[in-house]
Chains A and B, each alone.
Chain A
Amino acid sequence: MWRYVARRLLGVVVVLLVIAAITYGIFFVMSPVDPAVLFAGKQPTPELIAQVRSQFGLNLPVWEQYGIFVKHVFLGDQYGWPGLGFSFVTRASVRSQLTSRLVVTGTLAIGAAFVWLLLGIPIGVVSAVKQRSLLDRLAMGFALFFVSAPVFWMGLMFLWAFWFKLKIAAGTGYYGPTQYGVRTWLNHMLMPWIVLALVEAAWYARMSRGSLIEVMGEDYIRTARAKGLSEARVVVKHGLRASLLPVLTMFGMDLGLLFGGAIIVETVFNLQGLGQWAVSSVATGDLPVILAVTLVSSFAITVANVAIDICYAFLDPRVRLA
């Protein structure tokens, strides 16, 4: 068991190194813009550019820069551990800004995850049990609608309806609970949570319905029924447990992905999370920030994958960790 976990975590490190290398490839090698020129000010003299270049460490060959980056991540730099360097734009440590961004993104992701699980799975289960009933058709119709609707469009429609027209919801922006009070914070987070959760809940409803229907056709369900168990017990104890396995896989990946920033929702609702930070950094050419966000988000995705594989072994006796 522990050997398996150790091996998988080692795999995570390797994947992250490869992803960091790909990021370097895209933003340092493919990019035709020289960041040193970009950040040397409005009237860059050759001396100034050279100075900025050495300050940013861009005078070294790319592989050497990559080596230094990896070393700093593992051993820390002048700003502490893990060393992620400083932002070209603000010239401040990336780490110090990362925390506040991560809080916003985390709030959004975890809050939305609660809403979508509580909404998606029960709807999927009821739909599967009452297959082809009016309720099922209605639920699946709604699911199809939210699966198909672009998130940013839903965000706009919600803002237009609940904030601008009905005036029952607060507008955009993130207001921390300690600074502005819990009520204001909740008010501003409610709509982003719901918009993000509706899209995801629709996927989860579709998936858990399909999965449960498949499981209910298995032989052991017939056995459970033949034993004289109540239908509720058959569904919940025997059917649900097996049918939630693929849903769990999806959940881990989705949550991991969201920790890299729900770019679109953060943009629509103007939440200063990781995703928004990364996109604005791409626009300004702030390479260390892009690298940091890519790394954090890939880390979240890969670790979530490992966590799911381990959970699997506990839920499904057929899976052995090897």
Chain B
Amino acid sequence: MWARLRRDRAAVLGMVLVALILGMAVFASLLARLAGHTPNQLFDGMRTALGLPKGPTTQFWFGADQVGRDLFVRVMYGARTSLFVSVVGTSVATLIGVIVGLISGYSRGWIDTLLSRTMDVWLSLPLLLFAVGISTVCSVSVRGCLGGLLKPGLPLVTGIIALLTWPYIARIVRGQVISLREREFVEAARSIGASDARIMFSELLPNLTAPILVYATLTIPGNILFEASLSFLGVGVPQSTPSWGRMLSDATSGSLFKYAWWMMVYPGVCLLVTTIGFYLVGDGLRDALDPHRAAR
């Protein structure tokens, strides 16, 4: 797989882009020290007499935002938010999706019907609207909601993403399980007395790693945009947490972007680079893991 992936130039470019953003996230505090500012520090000198932010200078490489914070430092920290929410959110969604998909595909009868219908209903929900709703409802008090399970801030946004996107993965896993469950190796396992749980998790699951891996990778960029959209609508991560979506939302308030182009360009380009990177890696993985595709 590695050998095939390495030969795919687009996938290599994708890996470089993802590594770049990962580096930004990991070394955000180091880069902030290099710039000499912290993400929530206010600089009065970076605003004009009218209160408008000032553009890039030798000290403030990406300029300042509407309250005079260093945009460079905030963009670097934004990588942390974006990657954390999307990767953790996707992992949780994949975990739920795999378990539900396995059970639904392997069992016939009412369990499968119930679980598939649940997925169908879930997928007909207006997801973004529900996400906005849950986020608003759960952010009213610091205790969050569902008995403190979803706490406002990063856990809330991550939880919402996991909660709303798992059926996509469950559906794919279910389809794969249905096509595998009649195969001889499952029959063989059953004949030596393996339990259902063993067949599902030790026989079927290892055969599903490739599609799950590909699909999870291709879900990450979607979830990055999901978090950014929520923050853009003002219901994502809290104001103090740097988020690219929130920065772009700051740029729209009062049509600030018309003048302060840097508030629009830098966070946007970072979002774009991250999503392109993950899509390229995902496409590459899909090609590399597909046995029907001839090696190019």
Contacts and interface: CB of A to CB of B under 8 A. Distances in A.
B187 interface: no
A65 B89 CA distance: 34
A305 B258 CA distance: 41
Given A150-B228, A260-B129, A302-B124, A279 B233 contact: yes
Interface core residue of A30, A152, A159, A279 (most chain B CB under 10 Å): A152
Nearest to A262: B128
Contact of B126 (A33, A156, A268, A294): A294
A23 to B, nearest CB: 8
B122 to A, nearest CB: 9
Contacts of A18: 121
A32 interface: yes
Interface stretch (B99-107, B138-146, B173-181): B138-146
Interface stretch (A82-90, A140-148, A239-247): A140-148
B137 A283 contact: no
A279 B145 contact: no
Contacts of B268: 150, 153, 156-157
A33 B228 CA distance: 26
B132 A279 contact: yes
B248 interface: yes
A190 interface: no
For chain B, the bracket of interface size reads 35 or more
Contacts of B267: 153
B128 A263 contact: yes
A278 interface: yes
B121 A19 contact: yes
Chain A interface mostly: helix
Contacts of B233: 263-264, 267, 279
Nearest to B235: A282
Contact of A144 (B129, B264, B276): B276
Contacts of A301: 124, 126
A137 to B, nearest CB: 10
Interface string A189-201: 0000000000000
Contact of B136 (A160, A267, A283): A283
Contact of A32 (B126, B145, B261): B145
B258 A160 contact: yes
Interface core residue of B125, B129, B232, B252 (most chain A CB under 10 Å): B129
A27 B129 contact: no
A120 interface: no
Contacts of A149: 272, 275
Interface string A40-78: 000000000000000000000000000000000000000
19 contacts: A19-B124, A30-B138, A145-B272, A150-B245, A150-B248, A150-B271, A151-B229, A152-B245, A152-B252, A153-B272, A160-B261, A263-B233, A275-B129, A282-B132, A290-B133, A294-B126, A297-B126, A298-B125, A305-B124
Given A30-B145, A164-B258, A282-B133, 20 more contacts: A15-B124, A23-B133, A30-B138, A31-B140, A32-B140, A144-B276, A148-B221, A148-B279, A150-B228, A152-B252, A153-B248, A156-B248, A156-B251, A159-B257, A263-B229, A264-B229, A267-B233, A275-B129, A278-B129, A279-B132
